[in-house]
Structure 1
C-alpha cells in the first residue's frame, strides 16, 4: 500500500487560519475595551477638572465681586499648577476680565496627526461665581485644557492593551491549532489511511495507474480517493438516483392529490387509532387535528356511537377486511355535528403482519342535510298536493250541498225546515273554513302582496293577541327600530302571528311569557350550508318565544304536517301550523324551531328583505244587496262535477239566464265553435281532459275577444312567477276567480259584473 504524500499539511493551513481568527478576535476585543475605557476616561477627566475648579471658586468669586486684580492673578497662578490647564481668566457680570493668562505656547506638541484629528487641541470648562447672599452669578471662571496632556496617560494604557491583546491572540492561535489537530486533522488522517487501504483493493488497474503520487493536502487526497470509489459505484448510484427520483415524483403526485382533494386521507395503527390525517380535514369548520389524532373512531364518535349501527365497521376491523362507505356522526369541539363517510383497506408488512388501515374520509354533512331537506320538501309537497286535491273535491261536495240547501230554502217556508237548513248552512260554513285552511297550506302563490313593516303590524295586533290569551300570560315585544321592509300577504302574516300565539297559549296552561321579537338579519353562506333550503341575503326575522312545555324532536319533525296535533281530540284541527308553513313557503321565507322540554319554544320566521314599496294587490269581499241582479243572456257552464253543473244552472235559470252545460273543456270548445249566441263562459279551472279552464279561456278570447269569461275554482296552483308573466287579460281572469263553494248571491253578482263590463 502506497503512503499518501502532500505538498502542504492541512495542520499548517489550520495554524494560519487560527492566527488570523485569533488576531481578528483579539483586535475586536481590544477595540471594545478601548472604546469602553475611552468613554469612562472622558467622564473621569471632566469630573476632575470641575472638582479642581471648585477648590478656587470662593476665591475667584471674592476677586470678581471686589474687582481685586491681585487676588485674581493669584487664583489663576494657582490653577496653572495643573499642567493640563493652558489658559484661564475670570469674567465679571459687568464685562470686566481679570487675571487672564495664557501659557499654551509653552506646551510641547508631541502627538500624532491622528491624535490631533481625534481629540483636537483644547477644551474649555467654565463655572459660575456667586457672592454671599446673592442668587444671580457675578461672573465666571473659565479655563482651557490641553487634551493631549490629559490623555497622555490614557494613550500609554492603550499601548499596553494592544500589546496584551496581541499576546492573547498568539496564545489563542496556539490553542486553536492544537484543538484543530486533535479534533479534525488527526481524525482526518485516520480516515485517509483507511480509504487509502480500501482503494488498494480495487481491481481496476487503470484507476490504480491514474492515482497521483502527491496531493496538495490531506483533503485533496481524501477527495481523490472518494472519486475512485465513486467511479466504482457509478452503476449503483445511477440506479439509486433513478429510484429516488421515482419515489420523489410519486410522493409529489400524492401530495398534490391529497392537498387538492376535499377528502381526508388517514392512517390508523393496529389498535385503530388515527396516527395521521391530512390537513384538508381542518377545512371543515370546528374540526381540529388534535381532537382526531391518537383516537379510535369510537372515541371520535363519542355519544353518537351505537353498537348496533357500528356492526359493519367493527366486523370489518375484526376480520381485517375492507371498509366500504361506512357513515357515522361526531361532534366537533365547537359543537357542530359532522357526518362522515369512510373507506379504507388494511395494510400489512412483507411478513404479513397487520400494521393498521389506510383510507379516505369524506364530509357528507351538507349532502345529508340537502337530502333531508329534499325529503322533507318532497313530503310536504306531496302532502300539499294531496291536501289541495282533497280540498278541491271537498269544495265540490260543499258546493253541491250549498246549492241544494239554498234551493231548498226557497221552497221550504215552514219554521222547522228553515231551522234545519240554518244548521246545515253552519256545517257548510265550517267545512268551507276547513277547506280554506287546507288550500292555504297547499297554495303556492299569494293573491294579496304588499310591502309592509312587521313592527307596525305586530303593534296593531298586540291588543288582539293579549285579549286572545289568558290573564296569566304576559305579552312582550322587542322590535328593532330600523326594521327592513318585506313583501308578504298582510292577512296571512296576521293569521300566522295569531296561530303561533294561540299555539303558545296552549303550551302555557299555567301561564308564562309570550315574547315577539323582530331583527334585521344577514344570512351568510355558512348559515345557508347548514340550511340549504334558503338563499343568502338580507332577511327580517320575526321570533315568537314562549316559556311553555316545549316539544321533543319527534314532535318538531311533524309539527307542520296537516291534521297533526298534540291537543286532545276535538280541541284542535291540526291545521294552524300547517297554514303558517304554507304562508312562509309562499313568501319565499324560512321557518325554524328551537324547543326544549319544560323550557319553552321559539318559532323563527325569516322573510326576505324588499326595497319595493309597491301597491297592495287585494281581493275584497263586496257587500251585496238583498235584491239579486238578473239577466237574459246565454251562459255556457263547464264543470266536471254533474251536481255542481246542475246547481249552477238552477241558480242562473232562476235569475232569468239561458244555460248550456258541458263537463270538460274539449266539449265546451266544440259547443262554442258551433254556436255564436253564447254571451258568457262560466268554467271550472281544474278539469279532466286536454284543456283546463285557463287554456279554454285563452282559446276563446283569442277567437272571440268580446265573449265574457268567468272562472271558478276551489284549488289553484298558479305560482307567483307565472302570475307576473301574465298579460292583462290573463291576470284579470286570475284576480277575479269565483271561489268554490259559492252561494247564489255571489254567483249572481259575479256574473252580472262580468256581463256589464265592470270586471
Structure 2
C-alpha cells in the first residue's frame, strides 16, 4: 500500500484549519514539526516548547505494543490506531485514543506521521470504576448466603447468583432465559403469572414485599421452605424484579428439634413427678400387703395376695422407667469397662432373645472405660434387645458392638444437643422389620408404641433416651422399613478410655494437616444435612465434588462425568435403589471406579449386602480425618485393585 502524497504547504494548511484539534506531526524519529493549539490546551506545552522535541519523550508515551511494531504497521498499511497513555506538563496522566497516518511529502524519502488524539481519560476512569464496582458486586453475590434471582416483567430469569445455583441446583447459563415458574411447585407455579400481570396492570403488590415464607422447588424435585424478599427497579425503561431468597430448611429443622426437645423435657418433668407420687402409693400398697401377709393363713388368699404383690412390683419397674426418662432416676455411676460389662451380659441377652435369633457381640479396643451406672446400662441394653426381638418374629441377627468413637465439630453441628469429644459407642443393631419415618420420628416419646394393647408400655426406648441424657451422652436411631434398626448409644469416655483413640481423628490437627486430593468424587446421600457436611469436608480438602440424593440420579451423573474417580455412597437409601445396588451398576459402567460406603448401622452386612461387606466403608458418624485418610487409601491404590 502506497503512503499518501502531500506537499509541505498542504500539510501546514490542514494543520492550520484544524488548529483546534489535537494534531501532532512528527517524523519516524519522533521529532515534532507541528503542534496545534488543541495540543497546547490538552498537554500544557506551548508550540515553541514542543516543536523540535521528541514526542514520545516529551509526553512520556506508554505504547500498547512496541514502537517499532507500530512503525512497521504504518509502512505497510499507512494507518495505525490504538489507546496511548501520555503525561501532561504538570504530571497528571492523560489517556487518548490515537490515530496515526503515514504521509509521504513531495520528497520520496520524507515520510511523516500525522497523529490525532482524542482525550478518553474520563471514559477510561469510568470504565475502570465500573469494572471495580462490578467486581465488588460479584464478590458480594459470591459471598452472601442468600440466593439472588433477577427477572424481567415477563417472568424471564435474567440473572442467577452462585448462591442460587447451589440452592436450586441449576447452572446460571442453563436457567437464565427460562421462566421463574420452574423454581416453584404447584399451585404457585400456575398462579405466578397472574400475580405478575395483576401487579403490572393494577399495582396490587402481591409479589412485592419482605419476609414472605413460600415453598421453592429444586432441580431434583425437592421442595423446601424459603423466605422471599422482592424489590422492583427500572433499568433502561424496563421494569425488573430482584428476589433475595433464604433457605429456611435448617431453621425449620432446628425449630422442630427445639419443639421436640421442649416437649420431651416437659413430658419428662411430668412423668418424673407422676412416678414419685406413684412410688408413694406403691409404698403404701406394698406395706399393707406385707402386713396382711403376716396375718393371713388362708392358702388361697395368699395366692391372691402374691399376685397383688407381683403387680405392685411391676408398677415399681414402670415408675423406674418413668424416672429414667425424666432423668430423675438416681444413678450410681462408677468407672467400669463397658466392653467387659457387655460381654458378661451377653448370656442373659442370649436367653432373652431365644434360639431363633443369633447374637453377636463385638468389642473393639483394649480398654473401653466410662463412668456409668452398670445396672442402668444393662437395663437399657435389655430394653433394646427386647425391642429387637419383637422386630424379628421369624428370627434374625442382633449385633451389639462396643467401640471408641470421636464426635467432631461437624457432626455436633447437625445435632445441637451433642458436644464434640471422645465417647464410647454401644451399637445395638437388628435385622428386623425396621421403622417407617413417622414411627422413627416418635420412637423416643414415652408411651408411644406400635405393639398390640398389653404387649408393651412404650417406655423402653424413652428410658434408654433418658439414661443416655442423664449420663451426659447421646442416642441416635437409624432405621428403614425392611432393613432393620440400629440404636447407637454414646457415653462420654473417661481419660483411660482414650487409649484406643486414633490420633488422626482428634480435633487437635487442622484441615491443613489432612491428606488432600484434587480428584472428582460423587457423593450419594439421601439425608441433606449429612450430604452437606460430607460435601463441605471434601471441598475443604481440595476435591471436586458432585452430589446426588438418590441412586438413579447418581447413575445419570456418573454417565455425564467420566472424570469421577470415586463413588462415596450411603448403603441404605429410599427410592428403590440401595447403595450396594448402585455400586454394582456403577462398576458395570466403570470397572475402574473406586467405591467407599458409609452406614449408620453397626456393620454393612446388617442389610444382607455382600458387596457392601466386601467393600471399604465408614461407620457414621465419621470424622473429617477418617474420611480424608480412607479416601487417599482408596484413590492411591493401583487401578486394578478392589475398592
TM-score, normalised via structure 2 length: 0.54
2:389 is matched with 505
SS of residue in 2 equivalent to 1:455: helix
Deviation at 1:509, TM superposition (A): 1.0
2:634 is matched with none
2:324 paired with 1:440: yes
Aligned mates of 1:318, 1:528 — CA distance in 2? 47
Aligned mates of 2:487, 2:181 — CA distance in 1? 35
Q: Any idea what the Cα deviations from partners look like across 1:57-92, whole Å, max 9, x if unmatched?
A: xxxxxxxxxxxxxxxxxxxxxxxxxxxxxxxxxxxx
Distance 1:518 1:314, change over 3 A: farther
Distance 1:351 1:309, change over 3 A: closer
Aligned mates of 1:608, 1:263 — CA distance in 2? 38
1:578 is matched with 462
Aligned mates of 1:446, 1:291 — CA distance in 2? 63
Give the alignment's Cα RMSD to 1 decimal: 4.5
1:380 is matched with 264
Contact 1:504–1:514 (Cα < 8 Å) also in 2: yes
2:77 paired with 1:184: yes
2:551 is matched with none
1:609-620 equivalences in 2 (<5 Å): 609-611=493-495
2:6 paired with 1:4: no
Pick from 552, 561, 564 the counterpart of residue 436 of structure 2: 552
Deviation at 1:347, TM superposition (A): 4.9
Higher relative contact order (CA 8 A, sep 6+): 1
2:186 is matched with 307
Distance 1:535 1:393, change over 3 A: same
Pick from 262, 284, 307 the counterpart of residue 145 of structure 2: 262
Contact 1:542–1:605 (Cα < 8 Å) also in 2: yes
Pick from 344, 351, 366 the counterpart of residue 230 of structure 2: 344
Deviation at 1:497, TM superposition (A): 1.4
Moved more, 250-259 or 371-380: 250-259
1:367 is matched with 251
Aligned mates of 2:289, 2:451 — CA distance in 1? 33
Contact 1:313–1:326 (Cα < 8 Å) also in 2: no
Aligned mates of 1:529, 1:330 — CA distance in 2? 26
Aligned mates of 2:280, 2:190 — CA distance in 1? 55
Count, aligned residues? 409
Moved more, 290-299 or 417-426: 290-299
Aligned mates of 1:459, 1:246 — CA distance in 2? 73
1:601-616 equivalences in 2 (<5 Å): 601-611=485-495
Distance 1:390 1:254, change over 3 A: same
Aligned mates of 1:375, 1:510 — CA distance in 2? 38
2:219 paired with 1:326: no
Deviation at 1:338, TM superposition (A): 7.3
SS of residue in 1 equivalent to 2:288: helix
1:73-84 equivalences in 2 (<5 Å): none
Deviation at 1:367, TM superposition (A): 2.6
Aligned mates of 1:556, 1:603 — CA distance in 2? 11
Aligned mates of 1:551, 1:243 — CA distance in 2? 65
Unaligned residue ranges in structure 1 (runs of 5+): 14-175, 190-216, 614-759
2:345 is matched with 461
Aligned mates of 2:321, 2:149 — CA distance in 1? 54
2:628 is matched with none
Q: Any idea what the Cα deviations from partners look like across 1:583-615, whole Å, max 9, x if unmatched?
A: 1111222222222212211212222222158xx
2:396 paired with 1:389: no
Pick from 408, 422, 425 the counterpart of residue 541 of structure 1: 425
SS of residue in 2 equivalent to 1:568: coil
Aligned mates of 1:529, 1:417 — CA distance in 2? 61
Aligned mates of 2:370, 2:495 — CA distance in 1? 8
1:222 is matched with 115
Deviation at 1:262, TM superposition (A): 3.3
Deviation at 1:411, TM superposition (A): 4.8
Pick from 401, 415, 419 the counterpart of residue 285 of structure 2: 401
Aligned mates of 1:339, 1:520 — CA distance in 2? 38
Contact 1:330–1:339 (Cα < 8 Å) also in 2: no
2:65 is matched with none
Q: Any idea what the Cα deviations from partners look like across 1:475-528, whole Å, max 9, x if unmatched?
A: 223332346433222212111211111111111111112122333332222222
2:407 paired with 1:520: no
Contact 1:478–1:515 (Cα < 8 Å) also in 2: yes
Q: Any idea what the Cα deviations from partners look like across 1:599-650, whole Å, max 9, x if unmatched?
A: 211212222222158xxxxxxxxxxxxxxxxxxxxxxxxxxxxxxxxxxxxx
1:171-210 equivalences in 2 (<5 Å): 180=73, 183-185=76-78, 187=79
Contact 1:547–1:601 (Cα < 8 Å) also in 2: yes
Aligned mates of 2:279, 2:464 — CA distance in 1? 22
Deviation at 1:564, TM superposition (A): 1.0
Deviation at 1:274, TM superposition (A): 5.4
1:141-180 equivalences in 2 (<5 Å): 180=73
Instruction: Compare CA radii of gyration and give the structure with the larger one.
Output: 1
Aligned mates of 2:222, 2:408 — CA distance in 1? 17
Distance 1:266 1:611, change over 3 A: same
Pick from 458, 476, 481 the counterpart of residue 597 of structure 1: 481
Distance 1:577 1:349, change over 3 A: same
Distance 1:339 1:543, change over 3 A: farther
Distance 1:440 1:327, change over 3 A: same
Aligned mates of 1:182, 1:520 — CA distance in 2? 82
TM-score, normalised via structure 1 length: 0.46
Deviation at 1:469, TM superposition (A): 1.3
Aligned mates of 1:550, 1:389 — CA distance in 2? 33
SS of residue in 1 equivalent to 2:115: helix
Contact 2:185–2:215 (Cα < 8 Å) also in 1: no
Deviation at 1:317, TM superposition (A): 5.4
Higher strand share: 2
Unaligned residue ranges in structure 2 (runs of 5+): 1-8, 13-23, 32-68, 82-109, 200-206, 498-643
Distance 1:365 1:589, change over 3 A: farther
